[in-house]
Structure 1
Amino acid sequence: MKKRGKRSRQVRIVLLSGFVLILVFFFIVSALGRGEFSLFHKVGLEVMGAAQSVSTAFTGYFGGVWGNYRELINVREENRRLREELRQYEAATSRYREAVATNVRLEKMLGLKENLPDPTITARVVGRDPSLWFKTLIIDRGSSDGVERGMPAVTVEGIVGQVINTSPNYAKVLLANDPNSAVDVIVQKNRVQGIIKGDGNDFVLHYVLRNSDVEKGDHIITSGLGGVFPKGLPVGQVDEVVRSQRGMFQSIRVEPAADFSQLEHLVIIMKKTSLAE
């Protein structure tokens, strides 16, 4: 232990002596200015030059590392700012597209109202019946707006259904594709009459005689009978016709003109019908 401590002191003395010598060389070189160097001075200059070169390189290296680090921090901050701006622009673009789409729908609804018997009122769909047994939806117009049970509901594409219940601010509409719904219709091309009933998804056209001329692609419109829907409103398009050898009537499936899964706004025709009695 004593030998190890003695050797450590010797190392410290040597390092201190070397440091002192370097300082002396630096002082001598600085004091000489432009004077002629002796060999001793030249050796001192070499030592000092090498030491300063190492110091300069060391300082330059770590200075570059620090500069790159600061630049990286700045780049990250700039990327974060740009991402936030992009998110705001995308949100604004989405709101603009939605506003344009809503404006187009409302303009079409306005055009529809002009072709319907007065009075009418526009309603927004706010809910749907979660039950699997009934196809109904809730609108934001009720008895305080003059909406009554039995009034028909339509959209730009075609018929939607009929009001079956009201509260002061809301009303429930039974969709035309509900099995409990029935609408008097005609085939547009030849005025063949029938009754449309829902099957939960599409329509089924009933009571069309087997020898009647009905083909796939024919358009079905309201007949105006029954006192519910005005005459001539789109109902759907024939999707399938089956003529069996037995029975008096054809089996006809009709694809609805309105997409019941994407209803947002409706027009209520404010006329009294049999349901209102």
Structure 2
Amino acid sequence: MNRLFNRNRMLIILFGIIVLILLIGFSMTDRNSVTKAEQFTGDLTAGSQVVIDAPVGFIGGIINKISASFSAVEENEKLHAQLEMLPQMQADLEGLEAENEELRETLDVSSRRSYESVDARVISRSPDQWMDNFTIDKGESDGIKEGMAVMTTKGLVGTVVRVNGNSSYVEMLTASSTGNNLSVQVTHEDETAYGNIRRFDDERNLLVVENIKNRSGLERGDEVFTSGLVGSLPEGLIIGKIVEVENDEYGLSQNAYVQLNSNMDDIDLVHVIKRNPESMEE
């Protein structure tokens, strides 16, 4: 019985293989029409593809939207950061414009100054009068005269008070008993105030400018220059910056405390400013 069952099963399998081969051969022949079985199989495949593509497309759309959202968030953050920088960019622009205007004014002022400089070196400086005076290696033979300004590349340091043939004696702005009484000017918001250097405050290490008119509006950071109104000093030589302004003891004028630009403790190479006599006559 079992042997008969096995033989029948083998015949069925063999018949199925023969039918499958015939169907494959039939489907590979050139035909203008398709069978019902092929139509059913094609429709089933297409339907399955639609069923599969629908959720895949839906999920892909969600992923694309999420990606676009992240891109939009990142772009918004960049735009927000740029907006936050606008005040700083505006401040930088205004600063550059002010600096350019200042440079133009400086160049214009410089063109009206008539002076030349003589390079000199400090050859003598007494330890016990270190902040009072020093001697340079240029004198009368080099055209140096009393009252001429002496400065470093940073700013004014003193004036020539005695001239020899090949050397000169310079009194510093920090001298304990200065007799220079230099006239200076300070420009604040297009307004110029004038004053005089009277003394150096040893305790605070600041230069004191007196006789400034009240309500001048001077502030910390305003730069102080020579005025060119008195003596042999030309206009516009930088001295330092204001660190404090106060009324004098009588309340009639103001005093300004000035931080010198030059390092008065370390002076080696200097420039003696020779003002054109014609500019002094004007």
Q: TM-score, normalised by structure 1?
A: 0.52
Which whole-Å CA distance do the structure 2 matches of 1:244 and 1:227 have between them? 25
SS in 1 for 2:265: helix
Matched with 2:101 is: none
**CA positional deviation for 1:245:** 8.0
Deviates more, 1:188-197 or 1:124-133: 124-133
User: Using a 3 Å threshold, how does the CA distance of structure 1 residues 142 and 244 change in structure 2: closer, same or farther?
Assistant: closer
* Equivalent residue runs for 1:7-156 within 5 Å: 117-132=114-129, 135-156=132-153
SS in 2 for 1:144: helix
User: Using a 3 Å threshold, how does the CA distance of structure 1 residues 167 and 114 change in structure 2: closer, same or farther?
Assistant: farther
SS in 1 for 2:192: coil
User: Using a 3 Å threshold, how does the CA distance of structure 1 residues 206 and 222 change in structure 2: closer, same or farther?
Assistant: same
**CA positional deviation for 1:133:** 9.5
Letter in 2 for 1:239: V
Matched-pair contact (CA < 8 Å) for 2:155–2:237: yes
* Equivalent residue runs for 1:193-212 within 5 Å: 193-199=194-200, 200=202, 201-212=205-216
Matched with 1:183 is: 182
1:259 to 263, 267, 274: 263
Matched with 2:193 is: 192
Which whole-Å CA distance do the structure 2 matches of 1:143 and 1:162 have between them? 15
Which whole-Å CA distance do the structure 2 matches of 1:150 and 1:242 have between them? 30
Structure 1 portions without partners, runs of 5+: 1-112
Structure 2 portions without partners, runs of 5+: 1-109, 278-282
Letter in 2 for 1:124: R
Which whole-Å CA distance do the structure 1 matches of 2:227 and 2:216 have between them? 17
SS in 1 for 2:150: strand
Q: Who wins on radius of gyration, i.e. which is larger?
A: 2
Which whole-Å CA distance do the structure 2 matches of 1:177 and 1:116 have between them? 26
Count of aligned residue pairs for this structure pair: 161
Which whole-Å CA distance do the structure 2 matches of 1:272 and 1:117 have between them? 5
Letter in 1 for 2:163: T
| Deviation digits for residues 205-228 of structure 1 (CA, Å, limit 9, x no counterpart) | 100133221111111111111032
Aligned identity (percent) is 29
User: Using a 3 Å threshold, how does the CA distance of structure 1 residues 122 and 207 change in structure 2: closer, same or farther?
Assistant: same
**CA positional deviation for 1:246:** 4.4
Root-mean-square deviation over aligned CA pairs: 2.7
| Deviation digits for residues 134-187 of structure 1 (CA, Å, limit 9, x no counterpart) | 711111112222222222212211112111112222111111222413211111
**CA positional deviation for 1:244:** 6.2
Q: TM-score, normalised by structure 2?
A: 0.51
Letter in 2 for 1:218: D
User: Using a 3 Å threshold, how does the CA distance of structure 1 residues 212 and 142 change in structure 2: closer, same or farther?
Assistant: same
Which whole-Å CA distance do the structure 2 matches of 1:126 and 1:132 have between them? 14
SS in 1 for 2:253: coil
Which whole-Å CA distance do the structure 2 matches of 1:234 and 1:271 have between them? 15
Matched with 1:224 is: 228
Which whole-Å CA distance do the structure 1 matches of 2:111 and 2:172 have between them? 23
Matched-pair contact (CA < 8 Å) for 1:151–1:272: no
**CA positional deviation for 1:115:** 9.8
Q: Which has the higher strand share?
A: 2
